[in-house]
Structure 1
Amino acid sequence: MPADTATEVPIPLATPRIGDFPAGAAGATSALPGLPSAIPLVDLSVRSPQNGREVAFSLQLLLILTVLSLAPSIIILLTSFLRISIVLDFVKRALSLQQVPPAQVLMGVAFFLTLFIMWPTFSQVYEKAVRPMMDGQMNVEQAYREAEKPFRLFMYSQMKDNPENIRLFMNMRGLAKPASLADVPTYVLIPAFILNELTVAFKIGILLFIPFIIIDMVVASTLMSMGMIMLPPVMISTPFKLILFVLVDGWGLITRQLIESYMRYTS
């Protein structure tokens, strides 16, 4: 197109005319085809509440944000993650491995094993608390009470054969001896469960270290008798540890025993 004719092409102006859209944002969106007639409004302004319902909604939102911020601690301390992560770290130390596998990998393995073990508990929480609350059948307080029950049952099931930790914290608070799970307060059950998980994890760690310590002692005494004092025993014992661990299917045995230690009480 010649340069002198380019100026003859009219360019439409994009200035909106008054009255093209209905008044208000809701009316403007409803006039556009393909969009829903009602879009929820998210108001981030700070103002005084107009009624009690807005106050209750703000408190519920604050409670939800608090729970989300504490979710990592809940996952670590109220599930099987604590025991599994400690045992996996003991395995790494017993094999004299410094960088392999990385800590992120071990935490990932512990997370998915925890998800596998805790799936029935999470399913009960969703069916009895989360879904009814989302459907408007119960409020946040009722949902919390319902979500608390599966976790309490899981924690108590791990200590029902050895309730020493529960008895310890009950005596420290001056409470009477409980006759059932309902008599144990949650603030007593949680620290008792954490202490029980630490105790069990360290017992497993002792059993893991025994065969590898024997290998270290045999290698160290052999090198000492041969006069090879300058050679670090770890360089010789680590391959033997790995050979023993692979031959007995160490990862499979540890995973199976960890899962069965929970399943025998929760099933």
Structure 2
Amino acid sequence: MRALALAGAVLLALTGAAAAQQIDLGGIGQMSGSTVGTIIQLFGLVTVLSVAPGLLIMVTSFTRFIIAFSILRAGIGLQSTPANLILISLSLFMTFYVMSPTFDRAWNEGVQPLMENRIEQAEAMDKIADPFRTFMLDNVRDKDFDLFADLARERGQTVSREEVDLRILVPAFMISEIRRGFEIGFLIVLPFLVIDLIVATITMAMGMMMLPPTVVSLPFKIMFFVLIDGWNLLVGSLVRSFT
């Protein structure tokens, strides 16, 4: 439950101090700096809430999971089974499982101390971001990281891998995850492609040119995937693919 509630708790905790302040609407024409800061924080909260699903995709293992499952469904030849809701839900819970150490660390070191007023918001944001930065650094490809690091250096920025800016690390991590998702998808599709080729060759040899090979191969692909306990193998391999 702690992992499931982390995203919402982070957003609420980061604006806890802002919510505790009162805005004097009667003196709106003479707003103080603290009032303006509170308004900016509230706008920031609304903005973060609107992009929260995207944040989950960008800094976690969700991307690799959903790409692999989507390619699996296409490789078998099923259009809408399993449904998108099922694949997304499975990917989400697998993400919570893989990311649970990261979520726990962000909660214990950043969110909880902030809620107890033991640290300031700026320090809390750094402590919440550090576990995700560590996770992304452990799983990003060096080539992808170097690409965005070089682009940043061309603009005159100083890049350090130990304290890399999230604006550099997040896109590098995303394209790295997309690439790995396609690599895994390629390995998933190969056996189904072999079944399609065998069925197509047999139907052509039998003169059944008007019969689509996919209609015949579909039950064989489903049976093959079930017999090898494909879901167990695929989910286990995906989870183990993260360091």
**Shared fold (TM-score greater than 0.5)?**
yes
1:99 Cα offset (Å): 1.8
Distance of 2:48 and 2:192 partners within structure 1:
42
- Alpha carbons of structure 1 residues 235 and 92: separation in structure 2 relative to 1, 3 Å: same
Distance of 2:222 and 2:230 partners within structure 1:
9
The aligned residue for residue 84 of structure 2 is: 103
Distance of 2:194 and 2:211 partners within structure 1:
18
Among 141, 147, 152, the alignment partner of 2:133 is 152
Q: Which amino acid aligns with 1:126?
A: W
Does the CA-based 8 Å contact 2:73-2:79 persist in structure 1?
yes
Distance of 1:180 and 1:243 partners within structure 2:
47
Does the CA-based 8 Å contact 2:200-2:213 persist in structure 1?
yes
Q: How many residues align?
A: 221
Among 201, 207, 217, the alignment partner of 1:227 is 207
The aligned residue for residue 134 of structure 1 is: 115
Q: Deviations over 1:220-259 (max 9, x none)?
A: 0100000001111111101111111011110000100111
Distance of 2:27 and 2:228 partners within structure 1:
66
Asked if residue 113 in structure 1 is aligned to residue 89 in structure 2, the reply is no
Return 5+ residue gaps in structure 2 as ranges: 1-19
1:120 Cα offset (Å): 1.2
Among 229, 232, 235, the alignment partner of 1:252 is 232
The aligned residue for residue 169 of structure 1 is: 148
TM-score by length of 1: 0.76
Does the CA-based 8 Å contact 1:76-1:82 persist in structure 2?
yes
Distance of 1:46 and 1:224 partners within structure 2:
82
| Two-structure CA RMSD over aligned residues (Å) | 2.3
1:206 Cα offset (Å): 0.7
- Structure with higher Rg: it is 1
1:199 Cα offset (Å): 0.5
Q: Which amino acid aligns with 1:225?
A: A
Say which structure, 1 or 2, has more relative contact order (CA 8 Å, 6+ apart): 2
- Alpha carbons of structure 1 residues 144 and 253: separation in structure 2 relative to 1, 3 Å: same
TM-score by length of 2: 0.83
1:130 Cα offset (Å): 1.3
Return 5+ residue gaps in structure 1 as ranges: 1-39
- Alpha carbons of structure 1 residues 125 and 47: separation in structure 2 relative to 1, 3 Å: farther
The aligned residue for residue 91 of structure 1 is: 72
Asked if residue 73 in structure 1 is aligned to residue 47 in structure 2, the reply is no
Does the CA-based 8 Å contact 2:153-2:159 persist in structure 1?
no
Distance of 2:183 and 2:58 partners within structure 1:
18
Distance of 1:241 and 1:46 partners within structure 2:
70
The aligned residue for residue 194 of structure 1 is: 174
- Alpha carbons of structure 1 residues 41 and 168: separation in structure 2 relative to 1, 3 Å: closer
1:174 Cα offset (Å): 2.3
1:149 Cα offset (Å): 0.4
1:150 Cα offset (Å): 0.6
